[in-house]
Amino acid sequence: MDLDTTELETLMGKLRDEYAKKAVEPIESFSQDDTLEIDATDERMNYMFVKSEDIHKKVFLKKEYLDIDKIDYGVIVNKEDTGDNHTAGLGKLDKTLPASFFKVKSVDEGTEYYMRKNPDLPEGVAEIMARYTFGEKLSIKQKPKKDKQKKPETLEVKTGKFQVDFS
């Protein structure tokens, strides 16, 4: 008994080709940019208007926004050259500052920056730190030099006839 499997092989080939095409084919999606959203104070009144063909053929991909504190990357300000390649992590560390540090342009923004980064700081400390870091750099006034020619006042001894009256 000899079976003819040509029909089965062609059917399997077609299924394999369709599966491969769908596996490689990129997923079509739509986001909030392609929709109209109504956000109300009551959650039951929130609506999203979407094209019907998008609902049936595409996948909704919601955009998510992260807080700046979660993605505040360190920027290397001063790269230290240890000169020693075989001791990993034992040399001098590079000086890094968070990226949000470079957004600060005034003393008020600096105060907010320090309070956001260190909420446990006392009230006046953040402002002092912001003035020191982001304020105008004042030059230090030098004290006037003392005159070396001027002698300090001392007691003098004078001789002669004097009369002292204690009345």
User: 24-71, pLDDT tens digit by residue?
Assistant: 666 677 777 778 888 888 888 888 888 888 777 787 777 777 776 677
Q: Does position 1 have pLDDT exceeding 70, yes or no?
A: no
Cα separation, 117 vs 113, whole angstroms: 6
Mean pLDDT score across all residues of the chain = 79
pLDDT one-digit tens code per residue, 76-110: 888 877 666 666 656 677 788 888 888 899 999 99
Strand partners, 25: none
The structure's pTM equals: 0.41
Of 97 and 151, the one with more pLDDT: 97
Query: Which tokens hold the place of 104?
Result: 């600060």
Measured N-to-C along each axis, helices 123-134 and 107-117 cross at an angle, to the nearest 10 degrees, of 130
Query: What single letter denotes the amino acid at residue 91?
Result: G
Looking at residue 25, its pLDDT comes to 60
Looking at residue 55, its pLDDT comes to 78
Q: What is the DSSP string of the chain?
A: -----HHHHHHHHHHHHHHHHHHHSPPPEE-GGGSEEE--SSGGG-EEE--HHHHHHSEE-------TTTS--EEEEE------SSSTT-SPPPEEEEGGGGG--SHHHHHHHHHHH-TTS-HHHHHHHHHHHHS--PPPPPPPPPPSSSPPP------S-------
